[in-house]
A = this chain, B = another copy of it.
Amino acid sequence: MMRGVGAHEVIIESPRHVVSTAELSEEQLREVLWVYRDRLVDLKKDPRLVYGMIFKNVGSEAGATLEHSHSQLIVMPVVPINVWEEMTGSLEFYNFRGRCIYCDMIQQELASEKRIVLDTPGFVAFCPFASRFPFETWVLPKVHSSHYENIQKNGVDDLAGVLRQVIAKIEAALDQPAYNYIIHTAPFDTQEIAHYHWHIEITPSLTRAAGFEWGTGFYINPVPPEEAAAFMREVEVETLESQDIPARGAG
């Protein structure tokens, strides 16, 4: 039986009224990434809690009900079904091939190059093969790790730059769309595991799930990932180190 315990935390990302991750400086975003880690590390001490889902909704089309830039952490006494499917799917692949499917994807995407959005020493961002949504972009650490909360300091430093730049590219390419990002990470009650690889999935809200998608579980995506990635590679965005950036929203 499942007990009705859990936690829901809202992470306010800036004292200024900004609405998107792209308006945070890298310094601020590093702080946000540390908060994600610290809260997971703290909450997983409670043995009743088995999964922490970190996500961000930006814009009403992406389900946001607050404008001020924020992320959410929902911690649950059960492994969510979508996480369970990723865990079992990747385990099946591992049992069959002896390799992490995400490590394989990183290797293949880096070799083919055509879906790559950004490539840094620590992270790679690409539009996944058979993306469900236009401009869907995944960010993965190159070194295998199953749990986001095991990230190290140089990982946070690198990820802040990558995540900010990818979102800025999406915003420049699509004129500030609503979007979600979700951290996909392993359940609390597992040690580092060989078959799962934490990552961030960023999905702009351009299309809307309708009867076909709800009925089938298939997604109609009018933009091939190769085209989305090529477009985003071309878009130039500035790197913001300082906090002195103008806010897009109200003062």
User: B-contacting residues of A (Cβ < 8 Å)?
Assistant: 53, 55-57, 61-64, 72, 74, 76, 80-83, 85, 180-182, 184, 203, 208-218
Contact = CB atoms under 8 A, between A and B. Distances in A.
A216 B50 CA distance: 13
Contacts of A76: 216
Contacts of A82: 214-217
Copies per complex of this chain: 2
Nearest to A208: B63
B210 A62 contact: yes
Nearest to A78: B218
A107 B82 CA distance: 31
Given A81-B217, A216-B81, A217-B80, A209 B211 contact: no
12 contacts: A53-B216, A55-B210, A57-B211, A61-B208, A63-B209, A74-B212, A76-B216, A81-B218, A82-B215, A180-B210, A182-B211, A182-B215
A218 B80 contact: yes
A233 B98 CA distance: 56
A217 B74 CA distance: 13
A203 B214 contact: yes
A232 to B, nearest CB: 21
Given A55-B211, A208-B63, A209-B209, A216 B80 contact: yes
Nearest to A83: B216
Given A53-B216, A55-B210, A55-B215, 17 more contacts: A55-B211, A56-B211, A62-B211, A63-B208, A63-B209, A63-B211, A64-B210, A74-B216, A80-B215, A80-B216, A81-B216, A81-B217, A82-B217, A83-B216, A85-B217, A184-B215, A209-B209
